[in-house]
Amino acid sequence: MNSLLLIILCGVVTFLTRFSMIALLKKEMFNNRIREVLSYVPSAIFPAIIFPAIFLDSSGSFLFEDNPKILASIIAVIVGMLSNNILATIVAGLSTYWFLIFI
């Protein structure tokens, strides 16, 4: 298949995953119980992006020992909880990581 056509198809798939629920669901379908469970969506999705990026190397193997990302992430969470500031959290994590790999 032509690569531009494949890109367009992938774009359509991506758009449909973003659009379908917004188009289909009506606000009358929501009740407090559904809202309560849906409030856990960030807690359910983001770790699935975070954890593999911290604990796996680029080939997908586990990396527990000698992994500066683990300590850097813990520091980031602590700084985040104390400061409540997104930027401070990212900067704390990155600078800890750099400190550990360069020094």
Residues that bind another protein (CB under 8 A): 1, 3-4, 6-11, 13-15, 17-27, 30, 35-38, 40-56, 60, 62, 69, 72-73, 76-77, 80-81, 84, 86-87, 89-90, 93-94, 97-98, 101
Roughly what angle, to the nearest 10 degrees, separates helices 68-83 and 86-102?
150
CB of 89 to another protein, least distance (A): 4
Q: Which is nearer to another protein, 40 or 65 (CB)?
A: 40
In the chain the beta strands, taken as DSSP E runs, fall at: none
Is residue 92 a contact partner of residue 76, using CB atoms and an 8 Å limit? yes
